[in-house]
């Protein structure tokens, strides 16, 4: 037991020296480094402190690949790096007028090139759906579900359920939905429909979240 304790005591200083001797070549992060090394240079996963804090991948002494940076003013960058500079897709999180704002850009050599805007809608769930089309079409703010069977408008579906996070529910075959919606809007439609030969019944389920205002049509082909 004493021998093991002695070996442990000897190894701890050696490990500390190895960490101290591992260099980050980016001047803004050359104060303290903790992580993997190769030939005395930061390489692999690690953390570094300096003019800002970085945690992520290193290569050849520089942040390279996926990493997260935290700056003194509270700004956070999460994304891709190349040779110590922001390159590729990355998201910036900062506070503006007391609110947290998050924006994603394409970067090149630490400079923003193009903002990547979020998709106006997201399909959360789709079950037994062959094809689906989501688009805006004039009118006021609303979300309309248009269920179709393989042979045309599904006028004989069963166990119909409709839900929406806002708006006035309106049931008008072949469209069902909500008028005067507030966005972001989250809604779903669920029903059972027969195949063409009316030998088998399927449960159709679509859940969608829409963030952009407009009059939205959700066409469902089962």
Angle at alpha carbon of residue 90, lines to 89 and 96, rounded to 5°: 140
Mean pLDDT of 25-44: 96
Q: What is the pLDDT of residue 1?
A: 40
Q: What is the pLDDT of residue 43?
A: 97
- Collapsing DSSP to helix, strand or coil, 27 comes out as helix
C-alpha pair distances (Å), 22 with each of 51, 68, 70, 122: 18, 20, 21, 45
Mean pLDDT of 55-63: 98
- Collapsing DSSP to helix, strand or coil, 110 comes out as coil
Which tens digits make up the pLDDT trace of 92-126?
Answer: 999 999 989 999 999 999 999 999 988 899 999 99
Residue 7 confidence (pLDDT) above 70: no
Confidence of residue 36 (pLDDT cuts 50, 70, 90): very high
The DSSP symbol for 195 reads: -
Residue-by-residue DSSP string for 145-186? EEEEETTEE--S-EEEEEEESSSEEEEETTEEEEES--SSEE
Residue-averaged pLDDT of the chain: 87
Mean pLDDT of 63-72: 98
Q: Give the bridge partners for 61, in sequence order.
A: none
Q: What is the pLDDT of residue 155?
A: 53
Say if residues 58 and 30 touch (Cβ distance below 8 Å).
no
> 């008028």: which residue's tokens?
179
């Amino acid at each position: 037991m004493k021998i093991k304790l002695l070996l442990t005591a000897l190894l701890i200083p050696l490990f500390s020296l190895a960490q101290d001797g591992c260099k980050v070549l980016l001047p803004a992060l050359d104060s303290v480094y903790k992580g993997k090394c190769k030939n005395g240079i930061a390489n692999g996963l690690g953390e570094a402190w300096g003019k800002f804090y970085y945690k992520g991948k290193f290569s050849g002494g520089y942040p390279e690949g996926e990493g997260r940076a935290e700056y003194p003013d509270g700004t956070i960058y999460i994304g891709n790096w190349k040779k110590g500079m922001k390159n590729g897709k990355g998201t910036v999180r900062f506070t503006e007028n007391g609110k947290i704002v998050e924006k994603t850009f394409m970067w090149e050599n630490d400079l923003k090139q193009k903002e990547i805007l979020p998709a106006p809608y997201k399909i959360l769930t789709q079950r037994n759906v062959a094809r689906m089309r989501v688009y805006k079409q004039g009118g006021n703010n609303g979300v309309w579900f248009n269920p179709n069977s393989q042979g045309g408008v599904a006028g004989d579906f069963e166990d119909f359920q409709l839900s929406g996070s806002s708006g006035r529910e309106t049931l008008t075959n072949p469209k069902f939905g909500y008028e005067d919606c507030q966005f972001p809007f989250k809604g779903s439609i669920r029903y059972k429909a027969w195949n063409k030969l009316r030998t088998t019944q399927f449960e159709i389920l679509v859940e969608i979240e829409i963030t952009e205002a407009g009059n939205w049509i959700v066409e469902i082909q089962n």
